[in-house]
Chains A and B, each alone.
Chain A
Amino acid sequence: DAEITQSPRHKITETGRQVTLACHQTWNHNNMFWYRQDLGHGLRLIHYSYGVQDTNKGEVSDGYSVSRSNTEDLPLTLESAASSQTSVYFCASSESGFGQGGTEAFFGQGTRLTVV
């Protein structure tokens, strides 16, 4: 079965370190997304990609970067981890966009990141 997987599932890192969270999907979806989820804020969009070599900033992109070198992967990098980036991170993919008749987004199981 096609799926979307994230790794690691849990990570503790120190302030100032660079951290990369992996996301891999086997649906061959062009659209991929990274969200963070915090109490009181719901899910907020960090970055998204419409396809290979395409990346776009979401509403909370400061301190994060992504790259899309193939269809299957969208790694999320925290350039210099800060305590404010302690959160649960979800990767998602979708077959098409979210206009009229928009399609389902499939989510990975999440990565719980703690920055100490």
Chain B
Amino acid sequence: RKEVEQDPGPFNVPEGATVAFNCTYSNSASQSFFWYRQDCRKEPKLLMSVYSSGNEDGRFTAQLNRASQYISLLIRDSKLSDSATYLCVVGKAAGNKLTFGGGTRVLVKP
């Protein structure tokens, strides 16, 4: 079983719609949680950190459920420019390690 698992998608989303997807992690020692965005053939870039209380950044909302060991990302009012692969990333101090999920591909269509 992979340490961080994501539905690879693609999620085909009409422009203006809401899309949500989850990521599960298996290591209960995980301490930090992130969503990164990766455009085709480009480097990953931080979209947002995920905090225990949940957090929002504009149209993006992230939630963390430690008990069930999953993280979610919700995108409201989807834009064409939101088309990308979203990487769930989990970190821990031991080994100073970030573990990446395989990514969820989102395609926003007119």
Q: Report which A residues bind B (CB closer than 8 A).
A: 31, 33, 35, 40-45, 48, 50, 56, 58, 88, 90, 97-102, 104-105, 107-110
Contacts and interface: CB of A to CB of B under 8 A. Distances in A.
Nearest to A57: B95
Contacts of B32: 98-102
B66 interface: no
Given A45-B97, A97-B93, 20 more contacts: A35-B100, A42-B87, A42-B102, A43-B44, A44-B100, A90-B44, A97-B91, A97-B96, A98-B32, A98-B91, A98-B93, A98-B96, A98-B97, A98-B98, A99-B31, A99-B32, A99-B93, A100-B93, A104-B34, A105-B98
B79 interface: no
Given A98-B93, A99-B93, A101-B32, A107 B87 contact: no
Contacts of A56: 95
Given A98-B32, A100-B31, A31 B87 contact: no
B102 A41 contact: yes
Minimum-distance CB pairs A-B, first 3: A98-B91, A99-B93, A102-B32
17 contacts: A33-B98, A40-B102, A41-B102, A42-B87, A42-B103, A48-B97, A56-B95, A90-B44, A97-B93, A98-B32, A98-B91, A98-B96, A99-B93, A100-B31, A102-B34, A102-B91, A108-B43
A99 B4 CA distance: 16
A34 to B, nearest CB: 12
Contacts of A41: 102
A25 B34 CA distance: 22
B21 to A, nearest CB: 15
